[in-house]
Amino acid sequence: MGEKRRGPAPGDEALFGETAWPALRTATEELSWLRGRGYAEPSAVALVGNRHQLAKRQRRAVSRAACSDAERAARQGRRVGLEALAGAALHVDGFNALITAESVRAGAPVFLGRDGALRDLASVHGSWRRGARTEAALDALEAQLRVAAPARVVWWLDAPVSNSGRLAGELRERAEAAGLPWEVRLDPDPDARLVALEQGVAASADARILDGAPAWVDLPAAVLAETPDAWLVDLRDGA
């Protein structure tokens, strides 16, 4: 089952409030150093987590925010802004973009990783359910896409995830009602499709996609910029 919570969890203020930021940033930097030297992920996370006495949710945040120096440089080199999407083909990692935007709108902590990508702590493992912030998140993503004006938008959704068909139908209805150049594809492994792109831009913060796609854009970060009460935890070096 996927994590259904989109808003902050009990205890998040202590785990991710400002007093926790120095330890989280140091842990992110240390885990990044270990990754760059080939340390196995589980043991590296355990080493850093134990050293800083991090809770499970903190370890998850640090793990998602960390990356090696080489990964950071390569990802930042392929990142583009919304202005680069005009007239381009955009491929959206649907659940990744939507769930992060839902978390932003719900006031959950979201994390600026060492590579500059925005991530949250929610996840989908076989199940997704429409929540109280889904409509607002979809509205916000649609607004950003209208401004960016790509020539074509392909929404990729994980076919095995429950309710993916329902979300696909809602996206198609939005596109038809507003005359938007969207298409929606249900696929067994959208990540593989996005990694294999030869041209166009991927909208995702998934590390595998950022390392493989020819270019990427961060749509939820644009939503964050329009959400004054968002809870951002910046885990970049020197933040």
- What string of DSSP letters covers 45-95? HHHHHHHTT--HHHHHHHHHH---HHHHHHHHHHB--GGGGTTSEEEEEHH
User: Distance between CA atoms of 79 and 139, rounded to whole angstroms?
Assistant: 24
Quote the pLDDT of residue 47: 98
Looking at residue 134, its pLDDT comes to: 93
Task: Give the closest residue to 145 by CA, choosing from 200, 103, 91, 213.
Answer: 91
Q: Is residue 166 part of a domain?
A: yes
Give the separation between CA 190 and CA 20, rounded to whole angstroms. Answer: 35
Would 5 be classed as within a structural domain? no
**Residue 53: which region, alpha, beta or left (left: phi > 0; alpha: psi -120 to 50)?**
left
| pLDDT class of 128 with cuts at 50, 70, 90 | confident
State the residue range of the domain holding 182.
Answer: 12-234
> Mind listing the pLDDT tens digit for each residue in 163-218?
999 999 999 999 999 999 999 999 999 999 999 999 999 999 999 999 999 999 99
Of 46-60, 125-139, 199-213, the range with the lowest mean pLDDT is 125-139
Residue 30 within a domain: yes
Query: In the chain, what percentage of residues exceed pLDDT 70?
Result: 97
- For the chain, the domain total comes to 1
Say if 4 falls within a structural domain. Answer: no
Mean pLDDT of the chain: 94
**Number of neighbouring beta carbons within 10 Å of residue 43:** 10
In the chain, % of residues over pLDDT 90: 91
- pLDDT number for residue 3: 44
